[in-house]
Structures are given as structure tokens and as C-alpha cells.
Amino acid sequence: MNIRGIHYHVDVMFDGEPLVFLHGFTGSSLNWKQVINEFAGYKLILIDIIGHGLTECPEKPSRYKMEEVVEDLATILNELQIERANFLGYSMGGRLALSFAAIHSSRVKKLILESSSPGLQNEAEREKRKIADKKLADEIEREGMIHFVDKWGNIPLFASQKRLPIQQRNMIRQQRLQNSPRGLANSLIGMGTGAQPSWWDHLQLIDIPVLILCGELDQKFCDIAKRMHQMLSKSIVKEINGVGHAIHVEEPRIFGKIVNEFIKDMNEEV
């Protein structure tokens, strides 16, 4: 799909109410493979975010800016003739989904944020993070994918995934290796947590139902989830026992059940 001059890989599956899936950093639409069958009653729109999977990796980091990628999503919906959709975003994909809801709130029916954040509230924190992300981006381009993927898979954020079967861990590693160094580096620079706008002060203006998910073992993002919940008037926060950052990977059936219940209960009091 040609979207604003960029080739985007978009998979559309099944029929029903539209549900957009947005993966995390180093991921692709393949990451949702385990949970797809939990959502057979929806029209699934699985997108490889710019710089990831089979979507193009432009040379200029400025093309990866969060506001640019939000407009890419709006154009994808237009191309698919979808006015409003439910959005489900994991980690980086959650930051993108929340950014989309902040800019195009009328096009979001319900929002599901898995292990995500509205960015960094403090300007000094944003600058510090941008410097760290630029350093990591340079390392990815300099050292290559195998070095980076092995390093990334061993950060504390993913410690709980060590309990997954070896075949599944290998599959996650292989999927990460399919990304390009330039795509990941530019994603960090263009739409990293420090580079994106902070939506903390905007949360109280978001008037759509929001489900905020975090894993019990991912304390940092559970703290963020609880703070977001206090500011989002129509939000529910759910902490999933015994899992870390990637809930949909570690407990796909529980994840599917919770998300399904949230979307289906249209009369939900939140």
C-alpha cells in the first residue's frame, strides 16, 4: 500500500468491526500471530509500522516523526474506507495509538494500550532520552542486527520472556532480525519516547473508552498505567498477574479475553 510516498505493509483479515494492531519497537505485524484467532469476529488491520517488518525504511529520520506516522495511519484508514476503528497498541505501538487518539480522536472508537506511555512529561528527561536513543541508534547501524537483537533480548524489560519455550524465543529473535538497522535506528530518532510529544497534559481531553494493560512483573509500566488511569476519565486499568512487558506474548488467551470483553461491552460504564 503506497501511503504518502512510503510503501506500507498492511494485512487485512476477517470481517466485522475494525481493530487496528500496532506492534512494538523491533517488532512487526507477525508479533500478533499468537492472538489473531482470539479476534476472529473483527476486521483486523495489522500494520508494519514505518521502519519495521516489510514496510519501507526511509533514509531521513524526520519522516519517522510521531506526527508523520499518525498521518500515515489516517491515510491507511482512508484507503481502507474506514472512518472509525478500535486501536490496540503495544509499547511503541501504544504510544503511536495514543498519539493518533490525541490528534484524531473522532476516528478512534476504543483504545487499548498495552505496556505503553504518553511519553515523557519533563523536557530535561526528553533531552536525556533523545541522547540515549541516538547513541543506541548509532550502535545499531555500526554493529549490525545480530549484535543489537541479542543485546535487546537481554534487557531487564524482557526478563520474564526467558520462561517461554525455546522455540518461541527463537521465533521472536528471528522476527527481530528481519528488521533493518536503518529502520530501527531512524525509529528511535524519529518516534522514540524522548522525540515524541508528551501527551500527559492532553490525557484529560481524551473522551473515549481506554483499556490500559500492564504486566505485574513490569513495575515501571504498571506505575505509568496507574498514573494514566487517574487522568483518563473513561479508562480501566488491568494488571495481569505473573507476566512482564509483552502480555500478548506471555499470556495470549488471557490477553485476548480481556481485550474482547472491553471492546464488546459497548454499554460499559467506565
On whether the pTM is more than 0.85, the answer is: yes
What is the Cα–Cα distance from 43 to 15, expressed in whole angstroms?
4
- pLDDT recorded at residue 266: 57
> 92 vs 142, 173, 197, CA distance in Å?
23, 18, 13
The percent of residues above 70 in pLDDT, for the chain, comes to 98
**With 90 as the cut, is the pLDDT of residue 269 above it?**
no
Of the candidates 107, 21, 103, the one whose C-alpha atom is nearest the C-alpha of residue 67 is 103
Domains by residue range for the chain, with CATH: 2-264 (3.40.50.1820)
Cell of 209: 473508552
Whose cell is 473483527? That residue is 42
Between strands 2-3 and 108-114, the pairing is unpaired
Average pLDDT of the chain is 96
Cell of 73: 495511519
- Amino acid found at 213: L
What is the Cα–Cα distance from 214 to 222, expressed in whole angstroms?
5
- pLDDT recorded at residue 267: 44
Cβ(7)–Cβ(52) below 8 Å? no
- pLDDT recorded at residue 265: 83
Please write the tens of the pLDDT for every residue from 44-103.
999 999 999 999 999 999 999 999 999 999 999 999 999 999 999 999 999 999 999 999
